[in-house]
Amino acid sequence: MAPATLNPTRPLVLDHALDGVGYTPLCRLDRLAKAHGIKSNLFGKVEFMSIGGSVKDRIAKRMVEQAEKDGVLIPGKSVVIEPTSGNTGVGLALACAVHGYPLIITLPEKMSMEKELTMRALGAEIIRTPTAAASASPLSNIGLAKRLKDAIPNAVILNQYTNPNNPLAHEFGTGPEIIAAIESLPGNQRVDVFVAGAGTGGTISGTARALKGHNRDCTVVGVDPRGSILALPESLNVLKESEDSSYQVEGIGYDFVPEVLSREPGLIDQWVKANDEDSFKLVRDLMKREALLVGGSSGTAIAGALRWLKASPERDVEGQNVVIMLPDGLRNYMTKPWFADGLTGREIGADLSPEVTARINKVLADNHKYSLSANGDVPTEDKVEEAVSALAETMKDVTVGTRGVNGIGKVAA
């Protein structure tokens, strides 16, 4: 059965922050597709444009509001506890701030400091747990959350791993938004392929149900990081002797199968695996080509989509619509080595042509001619004008490179 029709337009005036959850756009990924030789129409579902910055805003809002309706959460009494890799915690921190609940988050050590600081800014208490602890261990974030619930009166774990409102948020929110966007296009108005990484599995399972109702022939592809055990058949999860089960990408993959990850036949049609190297390489590629500042798991989804499309000629068909879930944004990962190490301290000209790089270096070599005054004032006006004129002169009729311009205002081929 197809999901209820959804008005995909965000209100212009929000009564509170939770009214800004969801309503995220699809963005064409034409430059990425061309660079990788893909004929299909690629679209990214850009979830960092939700008010809390990720796809998990959706489930947090629904879980809290439904728990209130069901009497599980009692205003002025309940304390919310949740084990998370971060994004669900941010979403819950938003929801708990609006609804007035104290929130305790248990978070593995490998998760970014940016996530912790964001949750703390919203009023949550954060307790870190060992990344190496298996999910069944009392020391894991899941195990610690259970122990805290037993120790704290009126504590409630909403439990994204088992809570049916996790996939329902996507079946009646994310999925219908994607359908409405694709149906607004000229020509093919079907979602032919949907690709998403899997963590709890709520996003891919719920969205898949909506999309299968829209087009029963829609192919749903799950992407699982190397080291995780979520993919089927299970032979995909077997590691080589040179590999270990750790991986750096955050928010997807587990060492157990969550209840909300559907194993229903025909829902998730195929699985592919992706490693950290490909994930981080492709997320940087996506940033440069499409100007989308997304997180590492978006690179995993892109890597999986490209691998699946290129696996056989009949999969990559001109005119078909392929939607890829981009779960969160760069805000969460600004200081992570996979991102920061490639940018800080790099030489000038990394993305420019040799000609432009040489001219920039020539201008910089003249810096000794222009100095600050002894008291630190800026250079005199005539020297500033001289420096600007010198730089402008060097840039006349220069080919900047594949990402720049020829002359002024003319995009390079």
Together in a domain, 291 and 334? yes
42 — pLDDT class (breaks 50, 70, 90): very high
The domain boundary residue, chosen from 306, 340, 374: 340
Share of the chain above pLDDT 70, in %: 85
**Range list of H helices, 215-350:** 276-290, 296-310, 337-340
What is the mean predicted confidence (pLDDT) over 3-30? 85
Together in a domain, 99 and 218? no
For residues 400 and 412, the answer to whether their CB atoms sit within 8 Å is yes
What is the CATH classification number for the domain harbouring 122?
Answer: 3.40.50.1100
The answer to whether the pTM exceeds 0.95 is no
Q: Does residue 371 lie in a domain region?
A: yes
Together in a domain, 216 and 359? no
Together in a domain, 177 and 289? yes
Angle formed by the axes of helices 276-290 and 296-310, nearest 10°? 100
Together in a domain, 314 and 241? yes
Q: Residue count of the chain, please give it.
A: 413
| DSSP-assigned states of every residue in 196-231 | EE-SSSHHHHHHHHHHHHH-TT-EEEEEEEBTB--S
Of 227, 155, 170, give the one whose Cα is nearest residue 45: 170
Q: How far apart are CA 399 and CA 405, in angstroms?
A: 6
Active site (catalytic) residues? 56
- pLDDT, residue 339, reads 85
The domain boundary residue, chosen from 157, 184, 205: 157
Give the Cβ contact number of residue 295 at 10 Å: 30
Q: Which two tokens stand for residue 172?
A: 């009646």
Of 155, 209, 214, give the one whose Cα is nearest residue 179: 214
Chain centroid to CA 181: 19
Together in a domain, 225 and 364? no
SS3 141: helix
| DSSP-assigned states of every residue in 51-96 | TTSBTHHHHHHHHHHHHHHTTSS-TTT-EEEEE-SSHHHHHHHHHH
- pLDDT, residue 7, reads 60
Number of domains making up the chain: 3
Q: Does residue 349 lie in a domain region?
A: no
pLDDT at residue 4 tops 50? no
Q: Does residue 162 lie in a domain region?
A: no
Of 3 and 345, which is predicted with more confidence?
A: 345
Q: How far apart are CA 90 and CA 164, in angstroms?
A: 19
Residues 210-244 as b/e (b if ≥16 CB within 10 A, e otherwise) read bbbbbbeebbbbbbbbbbbbbbeeeebbeeeeeee
Q: Does residue 11 lie in a domain region?
A: no
Condensed to tens digits (0 to 9), the pLDDT of residues 236-293 reads 999 988 888 888 899 899 999 999 999 988 999 999 999 999 999 999 999 999 999 9
The domain boundary residue, chosen from 283, 310, 340: 340
Together in a domain, 240 and 173? yes
- pLDDT, residue 8, reads 60
By residue range, what is the domain housing residue 118? 56-157
Q: Does residue 314 lie in a domain region?
A: yes
Together in a domain, 393 and 264? no
Together in a domain, 221 and 147? no
Q: Which residues contact 123 (CB under 8 A, 6 or more apart)?
A: 93, 96, 97, 102, 103
> Which residue do the tokens 């009949």 mark?
314
Q: Does residue 79 lie in a domain region?
A: yes
